[in-house]
Structure 1
């Protein structure tokens, strides 16, 4: 007779243990299985501050922490990286948000899923050597303008500025100079008369007296002056098909980037120098850090696309590109905040 209470106690203990295990199950499955562990990311000009959050996530192991084996291929400019993704040789592009608008105008739906930059970080400068009598952008007619690569965001901003001065792309010659040492050489040797590029290149040219800056979006104020609103910049984007088929993988990438953005909020100069590859400094640590301080506020805080950002980008593109028709673009298909919001909550960014 005493066996029954004992058996009941055993059953109760076993049931309680099962209940505890059941409660623990959600924790065990908190990180869903990735559809793709190996992901290839194409980027144009990885050494620039424009893509610093990507570099931080890579260097500090945040992609690996999410279970990702990421291969990053660096191209001369964002347009080349875009070609790699559209052509299928890369899964995801780290590039300018406005490319998603351009692609939709060609009936290709690509969606940004985590934002790295809330300002373009692009500056336009004219040569102190070949443009000594410069008075206005109209003086650039017939001149050579260096951009990271033809069709990239630096080219787009140059087109925007030229159009406001009554010039078109056909009035100048655009030359791809990259975003690092090659850009410095092209300007200092007189190969180009003006340059539209990102930091640290522009700060290095500016502080050495090689260029006169005439338009600047490396700060939030400068971005407002040029675009009339907040202009989203670097982001991770992929085809709609990739995002739909690989939501857990996209979430993992968004987590890694937002983790990097959170780290950047409190990182000091010494932390940056220790983390980025030595080659990114272009031989001058002091100027590299000066450039970082200049663009710091333009880095996204939490990876989320601001509500007004996509419309700012669309208006900018439409102002100089006749192929972009605002009434034909569905901006809701160019981005999603779904993944960044989850990452923000997780990392308290």
Structure 2
């Protein structure tokens, strides 16, 4: 059976937007000073309402970037590929996305690196429609599986979960349905049989009784059970060449994100939600958003460092399902560095004394 990959037209309706208090594009990618004398930088992501990205959102809204002398603009683009393209073109200085993209990019001859790990688990689940007799990825043979975008981390993990449970890659159909309302609509209108997604989409589907969870990767334990090891989620990725000539800016970015991770570690889901733009939980409702966040607070990485053995797990997963990575020699030591976050931790420790 040939593998059919379809992009749902509804996903294309998502327009580039910015977080409240942020604006602008990456421009020519050159950092400079704004009118207040702050160093300007742009960080790109896709689907900013994803709870995986809260460390970035809070770093801005709580003033951690400004405390570091940075004026950070956040570009919310339509897809992971657009985010990656913007980084490689120098239109933005950093991107927030899964660590696994660094391996994929290295296989393509690009040199990027994660400089701080925001999540120690994917924060994802695989769900099946409640009217389908799907109890695990093993039941997905011949089924249509929704993901945020083709080539995204949801598609990587959706592929691997099926393959790991004995379903060949050409026996499932991946469909790009974005996230949020379009993902929910795909379940509601039976465009998909199952899907891989994140919060708050997970809780919305559960609340509407449209889906059930078949694989839960919102915790370290759940991730290890599903994938056979730790699989880190979102991180801040930069081009290695840019980082080499802008170490001070990278350090300030990491300092701010580390402060955000520490703040999340010491606050409740309710307190975190109180700092989030209201439109982030408009679809699910504030109380459902809080509960969804409480269910996955353990996915955030308070140390900001790469979990032990995590790069090896990612390489194993991608080597099984990503034709770009499969058969290539990947130097994992060049896909991430803990140097900046170790410095951030040291500085934060001194500041607390």
| Residue range with higher mean Cα deviation, 283-292 or 217-226 | 283-292
| Residue range with higher mean Cα deviation, 259-268 or 166-175 | 166-175
Cα distance, 1:103–1:84 mapped onto 2, change above 3 Å: same
Cα distance, 1:117–1:54 mapped onto 2, change above 3 Å: same
Corresponding position: 1:219 with 2:219:
yes
Distance (whole Å) between structure 2 residues aligned to residue 294 and residue 187 of structure 1:
22
Q: Which residue does the alignment assign to 1:258?
A: 258
Give the drift of 1:160.
0.4
Gaps in structure 1 of 5+ consecutive residues = 1-33
Distance (whole Å) between structure 1 residues aligned to residue 94 and residue 327 of structure 2:
26
Distance (whole Å) between structure 2 residues aligned to residue 277 and residue 181 of structure 1:
17
Cα distance, 1:123–1:76 mapped onto 2, change above 3 Å: farther
Corresponding position: 1:197 with 2:200:
no
5 Å-filtered alignment, 1:241-256, equals 241-256=241-256
Of the two, which has the highest radius of gyration? 1
CA RMSD of aligned residues (A): 2.0
| Residue range with higher mean Cα deviation, 268-277 or 248-257 | 268-277
Match of 2:128 among 126, 129, 136: 126
CA contact (8 A) 1:199 1:291 kept: yes
Q: Which residue does the alignment assign to 2:48?
A: 46
Give the drift of 1:274.
1.7
CA contact (8 A) 2:206 2:212 kept: yes
Give the drift of 1:299.
0.2
Cα distance, 1:326–1:338 mapped onto 2, change above 3 Å: farther
Corresponding position: 1:105 with 2:129:
no
Distance (whole Å) between structure 2 residues aligned to residue 329 and residue 89 of structure 1:
26
CA contact (8 A) 1:76 1:148 kept: no
Corresponding position: 1:287 with 2:291:
no
CA contact (8 A) 1:78 1:96 kept: no
Q: Which residue does the alignment assign to 2:345?
A: 344
Give the drift of 1:236.
0.3
5 Å-filtered alignment, 1:135-146, equals 136-146=136-146
Gaps in structure 2 of 5+ consecutive residues = 1-29, 33-38
Distance (whole Å) between structure 2 residues aligned to residue 92 and residue 168 of structure 1:
35
5 Å-filtered alignment, 1:53-72, equals 53-72=55-74
TM-score (norm 1): 0.84
Give the paired residue count. Answer: 314
Give the drift of 1:277.
0.7
Q: Which residue does the alignment assign to 1:19?
A: none
| Residue range with higher mean Cα deviation, 135-144 or 173-182 | 135-144
CA contact (8 A) 1:127 1:210 kept: yes
1:113 aligned counterpart, secondary structure: strand
1:328 aligned counterpart, secondary structure: coil
Q: Which residue does the alignment assign to 1:27?
A: none
Distance (whole Å) between structure 2 residues aligned to residue 143 and residue 92 of structure 1:
36
| Residue range with higher mean Cα deviation, 59-68 or 201-210 | 201-210
1:235 aligned counterpart, secondary structure: strand
Q: Which residue does the alignment assign to 1:11?
A: none
